[in-house]
Amino acid sequence: MDQILEFTGNNTMLVVLLMISFFVLIFSELRRKASGLVAVEPIAAVALINNDGVVLDLRSNEAFSRGHIVNAKNIPFDELDAHKSKLEKFKDKPIVAVCDAGMTSNRAVATLRASGFESAYGLKGGMTAWGQAGMPVVTAKKTKSKA
């Protein structure tokens, strides 16, 4: 205990910076939880998809055609408000919103939850994290040949 007090006395600035970073971390986590935004890891997203979930790809049509999650619905984020009526039939199912890195999907989840979609989630890290986790990706060329 004496060593801790001695270290604190000798390194006051380090201890203050440690305390500030600790409180910032706690505050940001509490704020994220309170806002209702829920981001799921790729493995958790697979579980939601397997439970009759729907994947909503918010990227552009070009990015979607380069590679997307199997059976994903492509509605670019800019067009989300105009196409909410298409999503009404999925209101009782989990919706996993996907973008490139996970930032746009958080905004989409907030919009969907405000519209009454209780089970809307964002893919943490987006398609980047999906690919890094080694999850399957389908290209538009493959999708067209299956159809």
3-state DSSP call for residue 104?
helix
pTM beyond cutoff 0.85? no
pLDDT of residue 30: 76
What CATH fold (topology level) applies to the domain 39-146? Answer: Oxidized Rhodanese; domain 1 (3.40.250)
Nearest to 53 by CA among 85, 86, 97, 83: 97
Q: Report the C-alpha gap between 100 and 102 in whole angstroms.
A: 6
| CA pair distance 29, 35, nearest whole angstrom | 10
Residue numbers of the chain with a pLDDT score lower than 70:
32-37, 140-147
Residue spans of the domains in the chain: they are 2-35, 39-146
Residue 146 pLDDT: 39
Token pair 């999925």 is found at 90
pLDDT at site 22? 93
pLDDT tens digits for range 66-88: 889 998 999 998 888 888 888 88
Q: What is the rounded CA–CA span in Å between residue 98 and residue 122?
A: 6
Pair 68, 89: CB distance under 8 Å: no
SS3 10: helix
